[in-house]
Amino acid sequence: MNTAPLAALNHIPPHLQTIADYQKQAKLHLDAATWANLEGAAGDEYSLNNNRTAFANIQLLPRHLNSFKDANTQIQLLGEHYPHPIFLAPVAYQQLFHPQGEIATAQAASAMQAPMILSHLSTTPMATLNQVSSAPKWFQLYSQGSRKAALDLIFQAQHYAYQAIVLTVDAPHMGIRDQERRAYFQLPAHIQAVHHHPVSTATLKDNQHALFDGLMQQAATWEDIAWLVQHSPLPILLKGILHPADAQQAYQCGVQGIIVSNHGGRVLDTAVSPIQILSTMRKILPHDFPILLDSGIRRGTDIFKALALGANAVLIGRPYIYGLAVAGALGAAHSIKLLKEEFEVSMALMGTSCIEQINDSYIYQK
């Protein structure tokens, strides 16, 4: 395990005590356009804001006097043990936020033993991360219009010991992110996605629609998912599922898990917040079918609420990127550590000594 970032974790300046502190500080480290890329969300940002409000509106019902002998935060997922349920969500182009980009994130993941999901739009090759991280790694894919190209990347990921594939299905077109457009955000020339090779769309005829006959013809369909599940040597999880019928279809298609997500509010504004639809998903899917959740996790109590309402684990996106922007690997590791410790304290105060004990009886229902 790489403990270099951990050693310095005892000397963090006092103004960095929460993810909100890191958010404030990160803004000072990034130019306005890059900040808009990180922070901005789709449209009027109702989903972005509701992701937080929805968590705040859930009230906890703690129990007391439970024994904490052998207490722990371990989970089991897809046949693997993880020391805690905090995963690092795929975030594109991380060299935008720190020169060491995904390498620094991988070091932080290693120090905190947090599984890292490398974005398809990574600025660092997947092979490189093996040299800097002992944390488990998954690889995220966007559909690029070719089953073969997707499968090639899956085999590459398997070769480099990535353990699962996350297929993001909620962004066949990027969200209309007004903040970003107003700030004239453009990818600098030196920031490149090393694994992404878009297939060029066929030239459109006059009567064809640029979006529907163009980009949307490359978007994945359920047939593609079934094909990939059949051919992939690694388990596939679908990320961005919000509709219960899609959750059911995903299960029937043979995918090995879903990530309930609204992409941190970045794609479709006013899309429901994952935490609000989670318990419905849990009720209609088999109890042992993995459901992960992201979008809006900023506190240990948020993690507790997600697990109580049926998630097996959570992903964090912006929180570790704030840390990365502030102080590279050290900042990213510290932001994960803050959430992990807040979650542990939440478990202690809720009277739950292991993850299996966390359920919806700990949530106040009107």
Task: Report long-range pairs for 362-365 (Cβ below 8 Å, ≥24 apart).
Answer: 362/60, 362/61, 362/62, 362/63, 362/304, 362/308, 363/58, 363/59, 363/60, 363/61, 363/305, 363/308, 363/309, 364/58, 364/59, 364/60, 364/61
Rounded to an integer, what distance in angstroms lies between the CA atom of residue 297 and that of residue 45? 16
Q: Is 275 in the site for ligand FMN (CB under 6 A)?
A: no
Sign of CA dihedral 186, 192, 195, 200: positive
Tokens of 318: 């912006």
Q: Which of 98, 120, 263, 334 is catalytic?
A: 263
Shortest Cβ distance from residue 108 to ligand FMN (Å)?
15
Q: How many residues belong to the chain? A: 366
Sign of CA dihedral 342, 348, 354, 355: negative
Q: Is 339 in the site for ligand FMN (CB under 6 A)?
A: no
Residue with tokens 């020391």: 83
Q: Which of residues 169-208 bind ligand FMN (CB under 6 A)?
A: none
Please identify, among the stretches 23-31, 243-251, 293-301, 329-337, the one whose residues bind ligand FMN according to the rule CB under 6 A.
293-301
Q: Which of 294, 330, 335, 337 contacts ligand FMN by CB under 6 A?
A: 294
Sign of CA dihedral 345, 350, 351, 356: negative
Shortest Cβ distance from residue 288 to ligand FMN (Å)?
24
Instruction: Tell me, yes or no, if 231 is annotated catalytic.
Output: no
Please identify, among the stretches 4-12, 225-233, 261-269, 354-362, the one whose residues bind ligand FMN according to the rule CB under 6 A.
261-269
Q: Is 89 in the site for ligand FMN (CB under 6 A)?
A: yes
Shortest Cβ distance from residue 97 to ligand FMN (Å)?
8
x-or-dash string of contact with ligand FMN, 107-126, rule CB under 6 A: ------------x-x-----
Our CA angle for 194, 196, 199, nearest 5°, is 145
Tokens of 231: 């051919």
Q: Is 328 in the site for ligand FMN (CB under 6 A)?
A: no
Nearest C-alpha neighbor of 98 from the set 165, 22, 157, 8 = 22
Q: Is 38 in the site for ligand FMN (CB under 6 A)?
A: yes
Please identify, among the stretches 177-185, 260-268, 282-290, 323-331, the one whose residues bind ligand FMN according to the rule CB under 6 A.
260-268
Q: What is the DSSP letter of 316?
A: E
Q: Which is nearer to ligand FMN, 19 or 352 (CB)?
A: 19
x-or-dash string of contact with ligand FMN, 126-155, rule CB under 6 A: --------------x---------------
Shortest Cβ distance from residue 249 to ligand FMN (Å)?
19
Annotated active-site positions, please? Answer: 263
Residues that bind ligand FMN (CB under 6 A): 37-38, 51, 89-92, 119, 121, 140, 168, 239, 261, 263-264, 266, 294-297, 316-319
